[in-house]
Structure 1
């Protein structure tokens, strides 16, 4: 049986919109929206996040996806 892995890259830097992953939209940060969708999507067996940003790591932990 095959398994599907979702990898979410979320770096701290952005050339156009600084801090875009932690910006709030409709009450949640953009990375929180992404993580919640990926975790709820039935097509993904596992969701991993890769980041160099402490704030993104904190949000991932609160969403139940702490960094290894």
Structure 2
């Protein structure tokens, strides 16, 4: 990801053209990563690469388990 004054938001290739139903990522000036929901683009959370990597690993590991509500 490149660092720009205004975030360059990237949409997942898994999102397709289904409208506003995805998570978008953008690099920040201080080497962080911002995430936002495409339906609410004014709200974003920022984290670091290490924390995002840990989150994604956790999600991937649990994606094979059945969902229980």
Q: TM-score, normalised by structure 1?
A: 0.29
Larger RCO (alpha carbons 8 Å, 6+ apart): 1
Choose 1 or 2 for highest CA Rg: 2
More helix by share: 1
Q: TM-score, normalised by structure 2?
A: 0.29
